[in-house]
Amino acid sequence: MAYAGHIGLCGLRGRRFALIVLAATLAPGAPKASARPASPATANTGAEPPAGYVALASAPPQKTVLALPFTGVWGVLQGTNSEGTHQGYAAYALDFVPAETPISEDTFNRRKHLDQHPCYGRPILAPADGRVVWARDGARELPPFQQSKRHEAGNFIILQHTADEFSEFRHLQRGSLSVKLGDSVRAGQTIARCGNSGNAGTPHLHFAFLGSYRPIATRPLRFSNYEVMTRPNVWQPGDGQPKPGEILRSLATTNPP
């Protein structure tokens, strides 16, 4: 399939991107902040880890080599330090959706079923080797464009890559998790599928690189081995830090679940 360049695509699909970002910003509440990490004896017992108060802007140099957590061509929906939900402890999070040919706002608004959204059910991959330190499945998925009146954790996975580097995947499809607490995973392994749990608004993948998960605190990240579309069907190596509106594709090799 041919895709427009990222500048042209954003211009043609700007309203669509804005609509999904708006849906995400309307999600009420957030995990209750915690001033200190939980002790091992009480870890992983609640619906989700507590949120920290701030992101780790001064984190040490990244040790984990991260691949994009998907295959195919995707776009960056919401970036770091945005005016949406990526602030405070979540300042370095990213939201992704599969790229598609331009559609009208009216067509997008008619997507009343989850499976009408390109992201829904798409495989989510481990970006590096790691171990599952938190996994939650079974949470409900609301229809597109609907929001709960309370914060909902949704279905999510947190992987540990090193002693102080973790990756987090949110809004996963109910019943799609193929890993459980304590499992070891390999880079490129399918760990779940994209969904609409946890007040997502519309299906998308929320990804974050963490310096701590008890409490949750995002940190700056750098991806490797991917390309960015600079104009229609022209690809250049990515600089490691995906930005809103960019169209990306991974060059990494995937592994079976």
pLDDT band at residue 112 using 50, 70 and 90 as cut-offs: confident
Query: Rounded to whole angstroms, how far apart are CA atoms 108 and 111?
Result: 6
How far is Cα 41 from Cα 23, in angstroms, rounded to an integer?
37
- The residue type found at 36 is R
pLDDT of res. 35: 36
- In order of start, what are the domains of the chain with their CATH numbers? 6-32+50-250 (2.70.70.10)
- pLDDT per residue as tens digits for the range 202-232: 899 999 999 999 898 899 999 999 999 999 8
Residue (of 120, 121, 123) closest to 190 by Cα position: 123
Decide: pTM greater than 0.85: no
